[in-house]
Amino acid sequence: MRRRVTEAGFARVASLALVMLCAIVLTGALVRLTGSGLGCDDWPNCNSTKFVDVSSGHAAIEQVNRLLTGVVAAAVVVAVLGSFVVRPVPRHARALAGSLVIGVLAQVVIGAYVVWTGLNPWSNMAHFLVSAALVVLATLLVRVSQQDSSRQGRSATPRVMSLLF
């Protein structure tokens, strides 16, 4: 017997992914605003001797941001898994959830590059823009997951703009 997730359950999972993506944006902003971007000057370790180092305020802020990435990754993986077991499957849910995983993986690579380049402004901006795109995609996933089943009779394929507004 295959497990099923209700539409309401999937909407909660999608909302959790959105909340976690917003949280990582906020902690990333905190890193930037406090000048903690190189509080950990190595990647994936915090420094040459420790994986996790909270010996200074800057290192602690950077560590929270890095460690939250694991929670974000788990939330988007759960969203992908949920998109495969929810019944009925919201249209585009699997593609949107899958794009979140790809985006988070891209963020890990870009984040490493940001550290390796000493906070190069171009790599930093790319990191932020991917974050913004992830929040938009997660918002769309939440909207798709909350679509009222009565709308199915009116339009089987909701338009992107109608999802946003």
CA 19 to chain centre: 9
* pLDDT higher at 165 or 22: 22
* pLDDT higher at 90 or 122: 122
* pLDDT higher at 163 or 141: 141
pTM: 0.82
Residue 161 has pLDDT above 90, yes or no: no
Residue 5, helix vs strand vs coil: strand
Render pLDDT for 74-109 as a digit per residue (tens, 0 to 9). Answer: 999 999 999 998 888 788 899 999 999 999 999 999
Per the annotation, the verdict on 7 as an active-site residue is no
Give the model's pLDDT for residue 156: 44
CA distance 11 to 17: 10
The least confident of 23-32, 71-80, 105-114, 146-155 is 146-155
Specify whether the CB–CB gap between 100 and 138 falls below 8 A.
Answer: yes
What element of type H or E holds 77? helix 57-85
Specify whether the CB–CB gap between 123 and 114 falls below 8 A.
Answer: yes
Residues in contact with 152: Cβ distance below 8 Å, sequence separation at least 6, in sequence order: none
Q: What is each CA distance from 165 to 26, 80, 125, 158, in whole angstroms?
A: 24, 24, 27, 12
The catalytic residue among 14, 21, 28, 62 is 62
